[in-house]
Structure 1
């Protein structure tokens, strides 16, 4: 019997995978599956040599999203499916979630083709409180900044930040900063093979304006957390909406992470739905590594 062989796709900065994903290699070997870390855009890679490609730490894709989407569409066997990945790399997917009735963080969208001047951008900002600016294609809070609506210098920095994103041809998201995140934090709800696996808490990351020359991703302070019934309901609604968005995709997705924030009333809303290359934080939940390895092994018939 031939040993199934899979590629765990990563990036140049993490050729041996992120530390959280590295134990997958041994866990899959114990299940009769050979897993190999492979840099997604390494020249000359023969992807047909693998029975399956599983996207993991491809965290530099935001620097060349067009190449990344072309790559996922070229692969014969990919998880999550290419159709899902192509939709999920641009956060404008949140509009589809809104239409499906999933509670999301209210967002104002700026299109680079509209040629917004400074005044037009200024009028899109909230009149009070803090707000966040980020491009629709980003990961790990890169190119993201937090600003104060009633402080003129901060508002001026926000205009510059938005203009720079628009001038690079990218769409801009403007979201009011939900202050309860400072005390409650952000909740990541991890799903494996369509089933809820575990929840994690992410401490607040955004402390001020965007700063250039940031690292590949911002270091996150993570801990295990018990999900509330309201968080389970909100995350389950996001997962349940997916079959309607991808009618050609059969069965549950291999992995998903639903990131939630509490709104002003304390109700959880979806900040992001991570289906491309989310950290799973497997080490923070007993049994999570085995659940993920089992799910991958089932996909290759091991």
Structure 2
């Protein structure tokens, strides 16, 4: 008799009380729910493994989720990339349909359409907002007035994940981070692909299983190729150089691939597990 595989906690839309209706017949004794659409209201919010638990990933302003349970100030949510986890309920609002994303490293929302007016909020790259009105140099949003040059319509995604990865050069390393305030190796890859409207899981092991096609060990590498180790990933910016968020430098840095292979082999006794190419990229 074959034993059923243990569900991946990160992707299993159920807790001890509720389950998404798609799990009917797979779970018993839980309340089946459809989920309620909601939108994140803060620039960056940790997605937790449990109420007051540790950070799994992060969600940015304007991210859409489905709330499966709202209990004791915490919401159990199902995210657009399949992840589940807990966020403070006061960081959610009824579903808002965004129109633009922050397309620069960061930006500010101002109290008025005047660069000398007080700044009321700082937003990271990738945060999503709904434009309400257009002024000469600013867009009006529910968060405030944002410089027009800093926003990009959602129907105009970026085309080069490697270029987006390079935008994050120097960002400090943060385990589970997903923003220009701090991110980890898989967060860098996810942010880069999501900006190009390309689906991407949040963690390196899932990315290795889902993204692109495996390359032979002796294949010539090109810009945008992904290099995986156990628990780590980087992206090539040319045939010999990789950009990656790494704990060695505690930042997003460039590193010759040959140096990274030797360093990781020496320090962590880990070898490259795959080289993968995501087709259809603009490089």
TM-score normalized by the length of structure 2: 0.31
Q: Could you say which structure has the greater relative contact order, defined with CA pairs below 8 angstroms and 6 or more residues apart?
A: 1
Q: Which has the higher helix share?
A: 1
Which protein is richer in strand relative to its size?
Answer: 2
